[in-house]
Amino acid sequence: MTGLPDLTAIEAMDAADPLRAMRDRFVVPEGLVYLDGNSLGAASPAAFAELEQAAKVEWGRDLIRSWNKAGWFEMPLVLGDRIGKLVGAAPGQTVVADTTSINIYKALHAAMSLRPDRTIIVAEGGSFPTDLYITEGVLSTRPGATLRLEGVDAPSIEDLIDENVAVVLVNHVNYKSGELRDMAALTKRVQDAGAVVVWDLCHTAGALPIDLDGANADFAVGCSYKYLNGGPGAPAFIYVAQRHLAEARQPLSGWWSHARPFAFEQGYAADAGIRRFQCGTQCILSMRALKGALDIWDDVDMHALRRKSVALTDLFIQLVEAKCEGLGLTLESPRDSSRRGSQVAFRHDNAYAVMQALIERDVIGDFRAPSTLRFGFTPLYIGFKDVWTGVEVLEDILRSDAWKDERFAVKAAVT
């Protein structure tokens, strides 16, 4: 792109967008510039329809019989394989269950069980915090095991990997900066040292094409309520490479992970396949909304998605830097799109107030402590005009000092 596009050029970009029609399959409130699909993806008529069918017909009319008749029992596996398809996992390696945090717990224990003679977990100091909190929880149950942190014990995660490391827990896309790691290269580096890797795909799944099997990944976890649009708190997923399934053990060994859950045996026997990474009965209604959302993905070309994602984020950076120059913003995301996910972060000394002012004017991104404005671009329902409008409002708020109003002052933030 050369020169700064004007509104006519922006509208031409929307008109030429091969994914433009996808927007009609989502509920995007009129007038809202929603740059927060990386926190909660938009709703869809497809999700509503599944939810209503599951509630009114399957629960309401068929009751307990729906566990078989409506396929509730198999849904974690069926939806797991469908997410697997979006992240490069062949069938039988992915299951939808529980939360990302709980799946990290399972994955870390399972990874440690594969390397019983090693005691170190490597993670990122800049990780989304739950990864670290859960790691502490795992360590609390494994006496002698310790943690090495990127940014604390060494500047780069690669420098922390040696023959004592059992497992490396790493985010594919950083939740704050959007920095994208090279999955194949880091996986190889970890495995060359004899360790296993757990990829956190929360900001990856549905945001860009990836290939877990092709990268020879060991484990992965991720959520379905961001780019996959599964609904608020939709259940998470876990991927375990086929080669580890027979051997990897995790201690959340509830009856759904048993080889014969309905034999009601007294002793535990783990299922031989990916079912062993389930635990208890899943939230069927929430899972059905996710099913509706996943139906939309059947028609999405992930490479077209990525091209549009790059175009959206490049445009946003270009417009912000041109229009808001000298207004206190600094790019926190990688400028090189090949090293960036589908989100852009800018630093501002008063990021909290600026984001509150944006939200009041119907431009929704989010604030991340202490000073980050984070904007997510979900190519299925965000257009180039949204980027244009978002930057216009941002510029106006900064130029007018509108964010200095006392109603935007920092308080105990919960978003």
Residue number with CB closer to a second copy (48 or 189) = 48
- CB closer to a second copy, 218 vs 366: 366
Say whether 117 is catalytic: no
371 binds a second copy, rule: CB under 8 A: no
* Active-site position among 181, 226, 340, 368: 226
Number of residues that bind a second copy (CB under 8 A): 95
Residue 167's beta-bridge partner residues? 121, 196
Query: Which residues 1-40 are close enough to bind a second copy by CB under 8 A?
Result: 27, 29, 32, 34, 36, 39-40
* Tokens read off for 224: 């379905």
Instruction: Please indicate if the annotation marks 100 as binding a ligand.
Output: yes
Place of tokens 């990386």: 38
Q: Which residues from 312-341 bind a second copy, rule CB under 8 A?
A: none
Q: How far is the CB of 311 from a second copy (least distance, A)?
A: 23
Phi, psi torsion values for 382, nearest 5 degrees: -100, 135
Q: Is 226 a catalytic residue?
A: yes
Site for a second copy in 200-239 (CB under 8 A): 223, 225, 231-236
CB of 252 to a second copy, least distance (A): 6
Nearer to a second copy, 23 or 307 (CB): 23
Has 330 been labeled as part of a binding site? Answer: no
SS3 readout for the chain: CCCCCCHHHHHHHHHCCCCHHHHHHCECCCCCEECCCCCCCCECHHHHHHHHHHHHHHHHHHHHHHHHHCCCCCHHHHHHHHHHHHCCCCCCCEEECCCHHHHHHHHHHHHHHHCCCCCEEEEECCCCHHHHHHHHHHHHCCCCCEEEEECCCECCHHHHCCCCEEEEEEECECCCCCEECCHHHHHHHHHHCCCEEEEECCCCCCCCCCCCCCCCCCEEEECCCCCCCCCCCCCCEEEECHHHCCCCCCCCCCHHHECCHHHCCCCCCECCCHHHHCCCCCCHHHHHHHHHHHHHHCCCCHHHHHHHHHHHHHHHHHHHHHHCCCCCCEECCCCCHHHECCEEEEECCCHHHHHHHHHHCCEECEEECCCEEEEECCCCCCCHHHHHHHHHHHHHHHHCCHHHCHHHCCCCCCC
Closest separation in Å from C-beta 324 to a second copy: 23
Contacting a second copy (CB under 8 A), which of 46, 51, 169, 373? 51
Residue closer to a second copy (CB basis): 3 or 129: 129
Q: What single letter denotes the amino acid at residue 354?
A: V
Closest distance of CB 184 from a second copy, Å: 28
Catalytic site includes residue 128: yes
Whole-angstrom distance, CA of residue 118 vs CA of residue 211:
28
Residues 258-317 that bind a second copy (CB under 8 A): 258, 261-268, 279-287, 289
**Binding mask of the shown chain, residues 123 to 162, with x at each position contacting a second copy by CB under 8 A:** --x--xxx-xxx-xxx-xxxx-----x--x----------
Residue 94 marked in a binding site: no
Q: Is position 225 annotated in a ligand binding site? A: yes
Catalytic residue among 200, 218, 366, 386: 200
Measure the CA–CA gap between 147 and 404, rounded to whole angstroms. Answer: 42
The answer on whether 203 is annotated among ligand-binding residues is: yes
Question: Considering only residues 53-92, where is the footprint of a second copy by CB under 8 A?
Answer: 54-56, 58-61, 63-68, 72-73
Minimum Å distance from CB 293 to a second copy?
A: 11
Would you say 129 is a known binding-site residue? yes
Q: Out of 10, 33, 43, 110, which residue is the one contacting a second copy (CB under 8 A)?
A: 43
Nearest-approach distance from CB 188 to a second copy, in angstroms: 28
Q: Which is nearer to a second copy, 212 or 355 (CB)?
A: 355
Residue nearer to a second copy on the CB measure, 251 or 328: 251
Query: For residues 200 and 320, what is the distance between their CA atoms, to the nearest angstrom?
Result: 29
List 172, 291, 340, 368, residue binding a second copy (CB under 8 A): 368
Q: Which residues are annotated as a binding site for pyridoxal 5'-phosphate?
A: 100-101, 128-131, 200, 203, 225, 255, 281
Active site residues: 128, 200, 225-226, 374
